[in-house]
Structure 1
Amino acid sequence: MVTSKPVRWRPASRLLVWMAILLGSAVANAVVEVMDAQRRGEMLAFWQPLVWEASSATLILLTLPLLWWGCQRWPLHADTWRRRLPLYLLASVAWSLVHVVGMMLLRHLVYASVGEHYVDGSSWPTRLLYEYLKDVRAFFTFVALEHFFSWFGRRRQGEAHLLVAPEDVPPEEPVDRPERFLVRKLGRDFLVATADIEYAQAAGNYMNLHVRGHDYPLRSTMAALEARLDPARFVRIHRSYVLNLGFLVSIEPLDNGEARAHLADGSALPCSRRQLPGLRAALGQGGTPPVSAATPA
């Protein structure tokens, strides 16, 4: 728990901004289509290219909330992007398929409503491939923007990079098993409940407390922090990481004898060969790694 809640850009506001951008672009593209037709000596009614462009923009707007949800559910971080890139590529194919089928259906419906028949000269395989080559660029542009604005929003709310040192403040007095920690960063004070700490990562003379996707730096060493945490709940899994067992989902053994600890939020932490037996013992698993562990508290 923290004393200040981040102010996020509401989905409705984002949709309104993208609606203005996409529909404005649709009108501009329709004007260019008409001008190009006139240069070729052809007659093209303005409503036709407007329908082509607006149908595409409409389907993009309808699918953007789902795309944003996917970015939040499977975020791309330095330790996850390689593993999740195939998932995003597969999602781009599905997104393009929905986009193409939906916009073609809209075009047929609009043309039929005015007594016209929409004709597309290309075959479906050719159309799908052509549109995907355009859609994959748009898809990853939206993904990149979503991750950028998510990162930028955290910075605006006082969230710095994981290993960035906070302001130089006097260390806290040691307290036996504190229920919360007071941390200060970028001129703001936060109260972080001990039970909400998913894991802590060492960064020199500081410990970054990870809570619900945010990082709060505490002036402390790993040894000092470990001494203040409940050993029944918090376990050292690496020279740089202390893990809250309540947020552990599974352990993935690696060929070199080490492991990855997968958390409920999708992040993966390294577990060293030296610390792995201690983690197994804390989970009551003996010498066998667990398939799953407790759910978040």
Structure 2
Amino acid sequence: MTDPSDSAYRRFLPWRRTFEVSFWLALTLFNGIVNSVTVLMDIRREGLDFAAWEPAVWEWTSGLLWLALVLPIAWFCRRFPLLWGNWRRQLPWYLLASVAVSAVHVVGMVALRILAYRAQGQDYDFGDWGRQFFYEYLKDVRTFAGMVLMIESYRFVLRRWQGEASLLAAPDEGPPVDPIERPERFLVRKLGREFLVAANDIEWLQAASNYVNLRVRGHDYPLRSTIAGIEGKLDPRSFTRIHRSYIVNLGQVVSIEPLDSGDARVYLKDGSQLPCSRRYREALKPR
């Protein structure tokens, strides 16, 4: 029987990129409109001498720079994941990143404002750079933290929807059910449910940043580990490394196609094709 959550997740995947792009565009559009209107209302209430177009320029130049920074921030979060167990170690990197992000945001924002003001036949004065940058940084660090929170929360939801794997922990009392050094099963958490996946059911594994995706019957379950770390826990009689990013279950291999480059292509029972680098090709053939 098909799990409805599986069908929903598969239907979502082709629309994932569209959803992500639309979310950030809609958020930028909403913030740009709302902030422009509220700043203009404050200017009118205080009787300040600014043209009606100026608040729009201020807000939209800022919003466009934040939109351009979404991908770099998402990459940084993937490269340096902020977790409960490592947040003290990662926090200095995030503080440094917040300064770098704010610097890019401020410089780009000021450059766009200068161009916009020149188009209106006027000059834009940012003021004292030291004082103004510190002021902007106090705002930017909150925006940066908010974006990190949204990105990590979204990824957490996707992992739980897809199903996230973990190694079975040793019990508080008594011997472990499975050997900890070479686990025979993995625990998968998915939408509040937990189930076990046999190690021999894993068809192949692929490194993905700070995760290793376990391929099991058409599903990818991310496991927080390095490819080298999980390689040492798998039975070498059943699994072998074929690429710096791939480990394959030998029982799933149908054929190996040599390539002119010296590498090879590995064909599996489910129709998948995996790369095999020349470094691992010769060791794979006798296996």
Alignment TM-score > 0.5, same fold: yes
Shift of 1:82: 2.0
Shift of 1:43: 4.4
2:156 aligned with 1:151: yes
Partner of 1:222: none
Deviation at 1:80, TM superposition (A): 2.6
The correspondence for 2:128, drawn from 123, 126, 136, is 123
Gaps of 5+ in 1: 165-176, 199-209, 217-225, 235-243, 248-293
Equivalent-residue separation in structure 1 for 2:94 and 2:61 (angstroms): 24
Structure 2 counterpart of 1:16? 22
Residue 160 to residue 232, structure 1, CA distance change in 2 (3 Å): closer
Shift of the alpha carbon at 1:75? 1.2
Any conservation in 2 of the 1:51–1:107 contact (CA below 8 Å)?
yes
Question: C-alpha separation between the residues in 2 aligned to 1:80 and 1:32?
Answer: 40
2:138 aligned partner, one-letter code: L
Q: Following the alignment from structure 1 to structure 2, what is the Cα–Cα distance between the partners of residues 127 and 103?
A: 13
Contact 2:102 / 2:137 at 8 angstroms: preserved in 1? yes
Deviation at 1:159, TM superposition (A): 2.6
Aligned to 1:257: none
> 1:142 is matched with which residue?
147
Match of 1:102 in 2: 108
Does the 8 Å contact 2:167/2:187 carry over to 1?
no
Work out whether residues 11 and 65 of structure 1, in 8 Å CA contact, stay in contact via their aligned partners in 2: no
Q: Which residue of structure 2 aligns with residue 41 of structure 1?
A: 47
Richer in helix (by share): 2
In structure 2, distance between residues paired with 1:82 and 1:17? 30
- 1:68 partnered with 2:74: yes
Cα RMSD, aligned residues only: 4.2
Normalised by the length of structure 2, the TM-score is 0.58
> How far is the alpha carbon of 1:92 from its aligned partner?
0.7
Over 3 Å counting, the alpha-carbon distance change for 1:162 and 1:47 in structure 2 is farther
8 A Cα contact 2:65 2:108, kept in partner: yes
Q: Aligned pairs, how many? A: 204
Q: What is residue 214 of structure 1 aligned with on the other side?
A: 222
Once the two structures are TM-superposed, the CA of residue 61 in structure 1 deviates from its matched residue by 0.3
1:196 aligns with 2:205: yes
From 75, 93, 99, the counterpart of 1:93: 99
Selected match of 2:84 from 56, 59, 78: 78
Secondary structure at the counterpart of residue 196 of structure 1: strand
1:30–1:50: 8 Å Cα contact kept in structure 2? yes
Distance (Å, rounded) in 1 between the aligned partners of 2:106 and 2:22: 22
Q: Which runs of 5+ in 2 are unaligned?
A: 1-5, 170-181, 214-220, 225-232, 245-278
CA distance in structure 1 between the aligned counterparts of 2:52 and 2:30, rounded to whole angstroms: 15
Alignment map for 1:158-169 (pairs within 5 Å): 158-159=163-164
Which digits, 9 at most, give the CA deviation of each residue in 1:57-113, with x for residues without a partner?
000000110110111122122333222211111111000000000000000001111
Distance 2:203 2:138 in 1: 48
Identify the residue that residue 118 of structure 2 maps to in structure 1: 112
Contact 1:154–1:160, Cα closer than 8 Å, also in 2: no
| Structure-1 separation of matches of 2:168 and 2:36 | 48
